[in-house]
C-alpha cells in the first residue's frame, strides 16, 4: 500500500513559506546597514502575515481550541472519558426506555469503548489488502492544518438486499463528486458485496485506476450484539458499524440515502458535527468526527445499555441529550444536514411535485437526507421529475437542475 505524501499545506502557509524564503534571500543580499533598517520592517510584515494566517483559521471558541490541540494527539482522551462517565451514565439511564431499568447501573460499567476489530478486512476493489494502521495513516495525512476530521467518507452498504437502488447510486456519486473524499470506505458484511445495474454505474463512473485507488472495501461481521446486549435490528447493527468505523479512522459518515450538495470541508474544522433532525433529535445518518473523539467514544459506551426495541433511542434521542449535557464536545448543524426531515410536512417538500419553492436546498444544505422515502427512478425518468428530489438528482448527475 502506498502512503500518500502528507497533504500539502493550505495556501496561506505556502505564501508564508515563500515569503520567508524570499525575505531571507533579500536579507543576505543587502548590506548589514540596510539590513538593520529593514529588519524591523520585515518583522512587521512577518507579524502581519502571521495575523492573516490566524484569520484564515476559523474563529475558534475555547472548546475548539481544545480540539485543535487534539490533532497532534489522536489517542482516546482517557482522562476526559473517565471524568465524563458518571454524568454520561446518569444521562443515558435517564433516557432509557427499555425493560431493564433497575439493572442499568450494573450494565453501564466501562468508560472505554470496547469492540473487536480483528475480523475487519480492508482491501481495494481489486483485492490489495491494507492493515488498519495503514488506512489510519492515510486518513491522518488528509488532515490539513486548521482541520480536524480526515477527508474520508464512510458508507455502510445495505446488507439485506445487496442490489443497489437508483438513489444509492446518486448518493455515492454525490459524495465522490461533491465532497471529493480522498478515500471512500464502503463497509459491507461478509459475502454481501453490492450488485446490480446501479452499482455497475457507480463503478464505471471512475477509471479502473481511480476506483482501485480511492475506494476501500471494508468487510466486517455484522454485530449481533454490542457489549453483551443483543442487537438484531438491521438499522441498529448499522448504527454500531458506523460508530466503530469513524472511531477508528475518523471521517464523514453518510447514510446511503444522503445526497451531498456542497463540499463538507467547513465542517471538517470541528472535532465532531451532527445535524438536527427534530427539536429533540440529532440524526446519526450524517456525522463527522475526528478519530477517537471523546463525544463519539462516549456515544459508543452508551451502547452498554442499548435498547434494541426502541427505534431511535440510541441513534437520535441520545445524541441530542448527550449534546445538551456535554455541549463543548460537539457542533450541531441546525438545518443544513437533516432538514427537510421525515415528518410528513417536510417530506412533501422533497418529493411533492411543484413544491421546490418550499425549501431552498441550494442555499441551505450541505446535504439532504432522503429518509428512505425515495422514489424509484432511472436516468431518463429523473430528467423530468418536477420536484426538489428531481432537482437535486439532476444537479448531481448532470450538473443541471
Ligand X SMILES: *[C@@H]1O[C@H](CO)[C@@H](O)[C@H](O)[C@H]1NC(C)=O
Smallest distance from ligand X to CB 178, Å: 8
| HSE-CB of 232 using CA atoms within 13 angstroms | 3
Q: Does 205 bind ligand X (CB under 6 A)?
A: yes
Residue 351 has φ and ψ, to the nearest 5°, of -105, -15
- Distance in Å, CB of 182 to ligand X, minimum: 15
> How many Å apart are CA 122 and CA 132, to the nearest integer?
7
Stretch that binds ligand X, among 32-40, 45-53, 264-272, 375-383 (CB under 6 A): 375-383
116: contact with ligand X by CB under 6 A: yes
Q: How far is the CB of 137 from ligand X (least distance, A)?
A: 9
Is residue 75 involved in binding ligand X (CB under 6 A)?
A: yes
Q: Kindly indicate which of the ranges 63-71, 113-121, 158-166, 306-314 contains the residues binding ligand X, using the contact rule CB under 6 A.
A: 113-121
Residues touching ligand X: how many (CB under 6 A)?
A: 18
74 near ligand X, rule: CB under 6 A: yes
Asked if residue 304 binds ligand X (CB under 6 A), the reply is no
8 binds ligand X (CB under 6 A): no
28: burial class by Cβ within 10 Å (0-12, 13-18, 19+)? exposed
Q: 305 to each of 103, 274, 285, 300, how far by Cα in Å?
A: 9, 22, 21, 10
Q: Does residue 163 touch ligand X according to CB under 6 A?
A: no
Output 331 or 385, the one with its CB closest to ligand X.
Answer: 385
User: Which positions from 258 to 297 touch ligand X by CB under 6 A, shown as an x/- string?
Assistant: ---------------------------------xx-----
Q: Tell me how far apart the terminal alpha carbons of the chain are, to the nearest angstrom.
A: 40
Minimum distance of ligand X from residue 272's CB (angstroms): 15
Rule CB under 6 A: say whether 150 interacts with ligand X: no
Can residue 381 be called a binding residue for ligand X (CB under 6 A)?
Answer: yes
378-to-6, 197, 351 alpha-carbon distances in Å: 40, 11, 15
CB of 56 to ligand X, least distance (A): 26
Q: Which is nearer to ligand X, 173 or 274 (CB)?
A: 173
- The count of other CB atoms within 10 Å of the CB of residue 386 is 12
Residue 10 touches ligand X, criterion: CB under 6 A: no
Residues 224 and 211: their CA atoms lie apart, in Å, by 31
| DSSP-derived secondary structure letter, 71 | T
Site for ligand X contains 82 (CB under 6 A): no
Residue from 64, 67, 70, 76 touching ligand X (CB under 6 A): that is 76
**Residues contacting residue 16 through CB under 8 Å, at least 6 positions apart:** 49, 50, 53
Options 86-94, 122-130, 302-310, 376-384: segment touching ligand X (CB under 6 A): 376-384
Cβ proximity of 276 and 334 under 8 Å: yes
- C-alpha–C-alpha distance, residues 376 and 227, integer Å: 38
User: Where are the alpha helices (H) located in 302-387, listed in sequence order?
Assistant: 318-325, 344-351, 361-364
Rounded Cα distance, 226 and 204, in Å: 37
For ligand X, give the closer residue by CB, 279 or 380.
Answer: 380
* 3-state secondary structure labels for all residues of 82-132: HHHHHHHHHHHHHHCCCCCHHHHHHHCCCCCCCCCCCCCEEECCCCCEECH
Q: Which residue lies nearer to ligand X by CB, 138 or 310?
A: 138
Residue 30 or 398: the one with the smaller Cβ distance to ligand X is: 398
- Binding of ligand X by 71 (CB under 6 A): no
Enter the C-alpha cell of residue 158.
445495505
For residue 182, the surrounding DSSP H or E stretch is none
User: Where does this chain bind ligand X (CB under 6 A)?
Assistant: 74-76, 116, 118-119, 136, 173, 177, 205, 291-292, 378, 380-381, 396-397, 399
Amino acid at each position: 500500500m502506498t502512503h500518500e505524501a502528507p497533504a500539502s499545506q493550505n495556501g496561506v502557509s505556502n505564501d508564508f513559506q515563500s515569503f520567508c524564503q524570499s525575505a531571507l534571500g533579500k536579507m543576505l543580499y543587502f548590506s548589514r546597514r540596510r539590513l538593520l533598517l529593514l529588519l524591523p520592517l520585515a518583522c512587521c510584515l512577518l507579524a502581519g502575515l502571521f495575523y492573516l494566517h490566524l484569520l484564515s483559521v476559523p474563529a475558534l471558541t475555547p472548546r475548539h481550541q481544545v480540539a485543535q490541540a487534539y490533532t497532534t494527539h489522536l489517542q482516546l482522551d482517557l482522562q476526559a472519558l473517565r471524568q465524563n462517565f458518571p454524568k454520561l451514565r446518569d444521562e443515558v439511564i435517564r433516557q432509557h426506555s427499555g425493560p431493564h431499568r433497575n439493572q442499568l447501573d450494573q450494565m453501564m460499567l466501562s468508560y472505554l469503548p470496547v469492540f473487536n476489530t480483528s475480523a475487519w478486512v480492508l482491501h481495494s476493489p481489486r483485492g490489495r489488502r491494507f492493515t488498519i494502521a495503514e488506512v489510519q495513516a492515510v486518513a491522518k495525512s488528509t488532515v490539513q492544518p486548521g482541520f480536524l476530521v480526515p477527508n474520508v467518507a464512510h458508507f455502510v452498504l445495505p446488507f439485506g438486499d445487496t442490489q443497489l437502488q437508483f438513489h444509492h447510486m446518486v448518493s455515492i456519486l454525490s459524495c465522490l463528486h461533491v465532497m471529493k473524499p480522498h478515500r471512500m470506505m464502503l463497509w459491507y458484511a461478509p459475502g454481501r458485496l453490492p450488485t446490480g445495474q446501479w452499482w455497475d454505474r457507480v463503478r464505471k463512473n471512475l477509471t479502473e485506476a481511480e476506483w482501485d485507488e480511492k475506494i476501500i472495501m471494508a468487510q466486517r461481521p455484522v454485530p449481533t450484539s454490542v457489549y453483551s446486549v443483543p442487537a438484531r435490528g438491521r438499522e441498529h447493527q448499522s448504527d454500531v458499524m458506523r460508530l466503530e468505523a469513524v472511531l477508528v479512522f475518523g471521517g464523514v459518515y453518510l447514510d446511503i440515502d444522503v445526497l451531498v450538495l456542497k463540499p463538507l470541508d467547513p465542517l471538517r474544522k470541528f472535532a465532531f458535527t451532527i445535524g438536527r433532525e427534530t427539536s429533540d433529535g440529532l440524526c446519526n445518518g450524517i456525522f463527522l468526527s475526528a478519530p477517537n473523539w471523546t463525544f463519539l467514544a462516549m456515544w459508543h459506551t452508551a451502547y452498554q445499555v442499548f435498547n434494541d426495541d426502541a427505534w431511535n433511542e440510541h441513534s437520535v434521542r441520545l445524541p441530542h441529550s448527550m449534546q445538551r449535557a456535554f455541549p463543548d464536545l460537539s457542533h450541531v448543524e441546525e438545518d443544513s444536514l437533516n432538514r427537510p426531515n421525515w415528518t410528513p410536512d417536510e417530506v412533501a417538500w422533497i418529493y411533492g411535485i411543484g413544491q421546490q419553492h418550499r425549501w431552498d436546498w441550494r442555499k441551505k444544505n450541505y446535504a439532504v437526507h432522503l429518509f428512505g422515502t425515495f422514489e424509484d427512478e432511472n436516468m431518463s425518468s429523473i430528467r423530468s421529475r418536477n420536484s426538489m428530489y428531481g432537482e437535486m438528482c439532476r444537479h448531481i448527475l448532470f450538473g443541471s437542475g
